[in-house]
Amino acid sequence: MTAISRDEVAHLARLARIEMTDSELDHLASEMDVILGAVARVQEVAGQDVPPTSHPLALANVFRDDVVIPSLTPEEALSGAPAKADQRFKVPQILGDAE
C-alpha cells in the first residue's frame, strides 16, 4: 500500500499552484511515498502517552509586549516586488473571489 497516491500529489500541486508534467508527477509521487513511509516509522515508537508536538521546545505562552517598532519604508517594502504601482504591490488579474 502506498502512503500517498499520484492523484493526491496532483491535487496538492494544484492547491499549491505548481504546474507539473506527468513525468514529474510520477517521479514525485514515488519519492514522496518513500519519505512518508520513513516518517511513518516514528509512529511505531510514539505510544499513546506521547502527544503530537508542533514545536521542538517544551515552551508555552511566549509573548511580546504590545509595543510599536518602526516599520520598513514603503520603498523598502516594495523593493522586492516584481511589479508595483501607487505605492502598492501590483499583482496579475485575480480569478475567483476574495476571501
Q: What residue ranges bind another protein (CB under 8 A)?
A: 11, 15-17, 54-55, 57, 59-69, 71-74, 77-78, 80, 85-94, 96-99
Q: How far apart are CA 9 and CA 22, in angstroms?
A: 11
Q: What's the one-letter identity of residue 15? A: L
Q: How far is the CB of 45 from another protein (least distance, A)?
A: 20
Place of cell 502598492: 88
Q: How far is the CB of 22 from another protein (least distance, A)?
A: 22
Is 32 within 8 Å of 4 (Cβ atoms)? yes
User: Residues of 75-98 as b/e, b for ≥16 C-beta within 10 angstroms?
Assistant: eeebeeeeebeeeeeeeeeeeeee
Q: How far is the CB of 98 from another protein (least distance, A)?
A: 6
Q: How far is the CB of 83 from another protein (least distance, A)?
A: 8
Cβ nearer to another protein, comparing 37 with 74: 74
Cβ nearer to another protein, comparing 1 with 63: 63
